[in-house]
Structure 1
Amino acid sequence: MGFTIGGIREMRSGARRRHRGAAGTAVAEYTGLWGWAVTPGARAEAGSCSCGEPACPAPGAHPLDFAREVPAGTGLDRASDAWAETPGAAMLLPVGRAFDVLEVAEQVGRRALVRMERMGLPSGPVAVTPTGRAQFLVAPGAAAELPALLYRMGWDDAGLDLRAYGPGTHITAPPSDL
């Protein structure tokens, strides 16, 4: 399963559709089709962050303080109108509500997907970042349970290149700088 930006179609006239940007349609797909909230975020611009903070710890990957979130379930018209309030913002998905994220190196993620397919296990959406990481969107609460699971399996000191993201974090959504 993957992301299909622009998959939402509407039965209205083309005149109304021309006023919507691709970003508004993508936001509507995340909120309406996938049922996820979308948060306007800062953009990465030439190695710095659009928030203006010179020492920004997460350039282009954090919510804008002044922007309001577009809630899950928002339709195309309302999502487009809401996104027009923050033109050019990056699309961020809040983690910990509809999903948590387990992140590994891309090669490890590809091997895991092949193994899961061979075992007949379903997978949720998976994103690959330009920095060579694979992000598996998993059930909410999985990030909090991961340390105990790794301990029970004896992998707690294995030095795994595994990151877990839960409530209070965000991931960038395509299309985006990151």
Structure 2
Amino acid sequence: MLDAAGDIASAALKGLSAVPASGAGDASGLWGTVDHPVRVFLADQAAHLPVAPAALYAFWQLTGLIGLVGGFFGNAGARIAWLLFGIGSLAMIWTAAPADGRAAATGLAALMWALAGIFALRGLTLRPIVHNYPPQFNPALYLHATLPAPTPPGHDAPDNVHPAPALNPHPTPPRPLT
């Protein structure tokens, strides 16, 4: 299924790149407008690194593919990778595109990235989760009282223990009902 999806995407991108350019300056098509600045940027950076430009470009593509597919299946790390991949791609395109078409190339790349992001960020929602059931609240009061052990007959209480005074030392007799 993923092979078929890859073939469909490849055919669509090749079809889009065959669309003639609106101006006389760019003959590489729609996909080349976005892809060529990335290749140029990575080739320039590879000159300062001990790695081939083709390896950097392949790693860039692999990162995008993993972010897209992993994001489609709901992996949070892949979704973060997809966002960073897109932001990095836009920065590369802005840096390496010709000055006259820099804004158009970056805008086109942002639109393509947003369209692919529909699949990569599928199911992601910014709505808060609302629970419509009341919380379970069971109030309970637990009193733990320790009662002294009764004194066996014949044993006197110690000197410091006195009986509690009555609350009302002069109780009034109840009134008769009339």
Superposition TM-score tier, normalisation by shorter sequence: under 0.3
Larger radius of gyration between Structure 1 and Structure 2: 2
More strand by share: 1
TM-score by length of 1: 0.24
Structure holding more helix per residue: 2
**TM-score under structure 2 length normalisation:** 0.24
